[in-house]
Amino acid sequence: MDHTIPEIVIGRLPLYLRELSRMAGESGKIKTSSHELAQRLGISPAQIRKDLSHFGEFGKQGTGYHISYLIERLTDILHLNDEWPVALVGAGFLGQALASYRGFQRRGFAITCVFDSDPAKVGVKAGGLVVQDAATMATRLREAGIRIAILAVPADAAQATADALVAAGVGAILSYAPVSLTVPPGVSVSYSDPVVQLQQMTYHLSIENE
């Protein structure tokens, strides 16, 4: 029921949760099936059942899954019962956009502090928070017990910032910097680089079709 679940399976659970939450918002919708969920996500029903089977039995033969119950279980599995405080490092255009994003709260996260090393940015507002000096970061993170950080700093500053975050007790980093980071075992890193994603898609765009 646990024994090192494949990471690729863990990666799909948030997608299941997201789609189930969407279903829960559709009036009169109480139950679903692996088939329906799979169809909406563009994957196979067998994969959904297999993925869930790593964690227990959440459905009923003949009737499928109770949406709100499955949401509860996924929320448990992913440790989303309480809101996670998140530190945002970097208050440039992207940092500002992330600080202003209304979508975190509803899904288990809240940016509670923003840092930048640029004196021109320290003291300005970002999504209702005052940008703090990155030099005070370690202290603040320790005080607040923050375990998750979003990295929105320039590529050249990313590794040093990641090192500082890890040293301050952060165990999960979502990085928007276009560089590969090195972190100690036990620390999770997830990347978002729009150009990498676009470049993968251009492979499929022949120069002259359409």
Partner DNA sequence: TAGATTGTTAATCGATTAACAATC
- 186 is annotated as contributing to ligand binding: no
- 169 is annotated as contributing to ligand binding: no
- Asked whether position 53 contacts DNA by CB under 7 A, the answer is yes
- Asked whether position 50 contacts DNA by CB under 7 A, the answer is yes
Task: Give buried/exposed letters for 133-156 (b at 16+ CB in 10 A, else e).
Answer: ebeebeebbeeeebbbbbbbbeee
Q: What residues between 126 and 145 interact with a second copy by CB under 8 A?
A: none
- Asked whether position 188 contacts a second copy by CB under 8 A, the answer is yes
Contact (CB, 8 A) for 168 and 145: no
Residue count of the chain? 210
Among 49, 66, 140, 147, binds DNA (CB under 7 A): 49
Residue 68 interface partner, choices a second copy, DNA, none, CB cut-off 5-8 Å depending on type: none
What distance in Å separates the CA atoms of residue 118 and residue 113, rounded to the nearest whole number? 16
Among 52, 151, 166, 174, binds DNA (CB under 7 A): 52
What distance in Å separates the CA atoms of residue 110 and residue 83, rounded to the nearest whole number? 7
- Asked whether position 35 contacts DNA by CB under 7 A, the answer is yes
Annotated binding-site positions for NAD(+): 90-95
